[in-house]
C-alpha cells in the first residue's frame, strides 16, 4: 500500500466529482429538492402554529382570561375538564399540554389580598421538540410574569412545573429525512461505481492502471474512501436542511456513522457486481436504474411499509435499503436503541457480503 498514491487517486476523484454536473445533482441538488418539496407538501399535516392543549379545572372567568391571554400567541386546544389530564395526554399523543388547577381564581383573589399563596400550573412537553417547547415556555413564562406583576408587583404567585411527555406521533418530514439519506447514498454509490467501472474498462483506463505499480487493492481503498466521503457529505447536507428548514430534532450517534458507511459499502459492492455484467456505457444507466428504482419506491422511503399491500411490504424486507431506512429512523429520529442496533447489524452484514463479492468480481485484466 502506498498512501500517497491512494491519496492522489482520492483527490483526482474529488476533482472529477465536483466538475461533473450529474454527480453534483445526485449528491446535492436531488436530496435538497426532495427535502424541500416533500417537506412543503406535507407541511400542513404538522404543527404550523404552535399549539398548546389546555385543561381548565377551575372553569372560572379568571382562568378563561388567562387562557385567552395565552391564546393570543398559541393555538389553544381544549382538554375536557371531566377527564384525567395525564391519561388523556398520553392516550391522545399530545405533545404539549397545560393543566390549570381547581382553585385558580380563588387563589389569585387571596393573593391580591396579600396572602402568601402560590399557584402551580403543570406543563407537559415532548422533549424531542425543543424548538417548539421553547416557544411555549416563552409565551407561558411571559404571561405568568405579567400576571404576577399585576397581582402583587413581582412576587411569584403563579408558577409552572414542567414534566415531559413523549408522543408517538411524528411528522412526515421526520419519517422522510432518513429515507432521503438512504436513497441519496444508494444512488450516488451505485451509479458512481457502475459508471466508473464500465467507462474505465471501455476506455482502457483499467488496462492502463494494471500496467502501473498502482494495485487493484489500492485503487479499491481509494474509491471506498471517496464513496464514504461523498456519502457523509450528502448525509450532513440533508441533516442541515432537515434541522434548519424543517426543525427536525435529529440525534447523531454511532449508529448513524456505521449505517452510512455500511450503505456506501453495500451499494458499491452491488455496483461492482453489476458492472461485471454491463459491457457498454449505454446500458450502465438502465442497469443502475433497475436496482435503484424499486428500492427507492418500495423500501419505505416515501411512505411507510404499513400502507403497502402485504405482498409488497414483504418484498421490501429483502431490499437492503429498507434496513438502511429503518436503522436511520430508529437512531436519528425515534431514539429506539434496540431497533437501531438490529437494523445496523443487518445492513452491516449485507454490506460485508456484497462488498466482498463485488470486490472479487472486479477484474482489471483477464
Q: Would you state the torsion angle of the CA atoms of residues 90, 93, 95, 98, taken in this order, to the nearest 10 degrees? A: -50
Distance (Å, rounded) from C-alpha 89 to C-alpha 283?
A: 56
Q: Per CB under 8 A, does 16 bind another protein?
A: yes
Handedness of CA 235, 241, 244, 245 (dihedral sign): negative
Span near another protein by CB under 8 A; candidates 51-59, 131-139, 212-220, 290-298? 212-220
Q: Per CB under 8 A, does 280 bind another protein?
A: no
Q: Per CB under 8 A, does 20 bind another protein?
A: yes
Q: Indicate which single residue of 168, 280, 282, 366 sits in contact with another protein (rule: CB under 8 A).
A: 366
CA-closest candidate to residue 287, choices 303, 308, 270: 270
Nearest-Å Rg of the Cα atoms of the chain is 28
Nearest CB to another protein, comparing residues 3 and 337: 3
Q: Per CB under 8 A, does 221 bind another protein?
A: no
Nearest CB to another protein, comparing residues 68 and 207: 207
Distance (Å, rounded) from C-alpha 215 to C-alpha 282?
A: 28
Q: Indicate which single residue of 204, 244, 277, 318 sits in contact with another protein (rule: CB under 8 A).
A: 204
Nearest CB to another protein, comparing residues 210 and 251: 210
Handedness of CA 40, 42, 44, 48 (dihedral sign): negative
Distance (Å, rounded) from C-alpha 361 to C-alpha 366?
A: 12
- Structure-block grid coordinates of residue 274: 453489476
Q: Per CB under 8 A, does 82 bind another protein?
A: no
Q: Indicate which single residue of 210, 249, 283, 313 sits in contact with another protein (rule: CB under 8 A).
A: 210
Q: Per CB under 8 A, does 36 bind another protein?
A: no
Residues near another protein (CB under 8 A) are 2, 4-5, 8-9, 12, 15-16, 19-20, 203-205, 207-208, 210-214, 365-366
Amino acid at each position: 500500500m502506498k498512501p500517497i498514491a491512494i491519496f492522489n487517486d482520492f483527490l483526482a476523484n474529488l476533482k472529477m466529482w465536483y466538475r461533473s454536473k450529474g454527480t453534483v445533482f445526485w449528491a446535492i441538488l436531488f436530496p435538497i429538492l426532495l427535502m424541500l418539496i416533500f417537506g412543503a407538501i406535507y407541511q400542513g399535516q404538522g404543527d404550523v402554529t404552535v399549539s398548546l392543549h389546555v385543561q381548565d379545572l377551575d372553569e372560572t372567568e379568571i382562568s378563561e382570561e388567562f387562557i385567552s391571554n395565552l391564546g393570543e400567541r398559541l393555538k389553544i386546544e381544549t382538554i375536557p375538564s371531566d377527564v384525567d389530564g395525564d391519561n388523556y395526554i398520553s392516550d391522545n399523543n399530545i405533545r404539549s399540554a397545560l393543566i390549570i388547577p381547581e382553585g385558580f381564581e380563588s387563589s389569585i383573589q387571596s393573593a391580591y389580598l396579600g396572602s402568601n399563596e402560590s399557584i402551580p400550573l403543570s406543563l407537559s412537553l415532548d422533549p424531542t421538540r425543543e424548538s417548539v417547547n421553547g416557544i411555549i415556555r416563552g409565551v407561558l413564562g411571559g404571561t405568568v410574569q405579567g400576571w404576577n406583576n399585576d397581582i402583587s408587583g413581582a412576587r411569584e404567585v403563579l408558577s409552572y412545573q414542567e414534566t415531559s411527555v413523549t408522543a408517538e406521533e411524528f411528522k412526515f418530514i421526520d419519517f422522510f429525512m432518513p429515507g432521503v439519506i438512504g436513497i441519496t447514498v444508494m444512488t450516488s454509490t451505485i451509479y458512481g461505481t457502475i459508471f466508473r467501472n464500465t467507462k474505465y474498462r471501455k476506455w482502457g483506463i483499467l488496462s492502463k492502471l494494471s500496467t502501473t505499480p498502482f494495485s487493484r487493492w489500492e485503487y479499491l481503498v481509494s474509491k471506498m474512501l471517496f464513496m464514504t466521503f461523498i456519502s457523509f457529505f450528502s448525509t450532513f447536507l440533508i441533516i442541515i436542511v432537515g434541522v434548519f428548514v424543517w426543525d427536525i430534532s435529529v440525534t447523531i450517534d454511532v449508529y448513524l456513522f456505521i449505517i452510512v458507511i455500511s450503505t456506501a459499502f453495500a451499494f458499491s459492492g452491488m455496483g461492482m457486481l453489476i458492472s461485471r455484467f454491463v459491457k457498454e456505457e449505454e446500458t450502465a444507466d438502465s442497469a443502475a436504474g433497475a436496482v435503484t428504482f424499486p428500492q427507492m419506491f418500495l423500501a419505505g422511503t416515501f411512505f411507510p411499509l404499513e400502507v403497502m399491500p402485504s405482498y409488497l411490504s414483504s418484498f421490501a424486507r429483502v431490499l437492503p435499503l429498507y434496513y438502511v431506512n429503518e436503522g436511520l429512523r430508529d437512531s436519528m429520529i425515534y431514539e429506539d436503541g434496540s431497533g437501531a442496533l438490529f437494523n445496523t447489524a443487518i445492513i452491516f452484514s449485507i454490506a460485508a457480503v456484497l462488498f466482498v463479492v463485488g470486490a472479487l468480481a472486479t477484474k482489471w485484466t483477464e
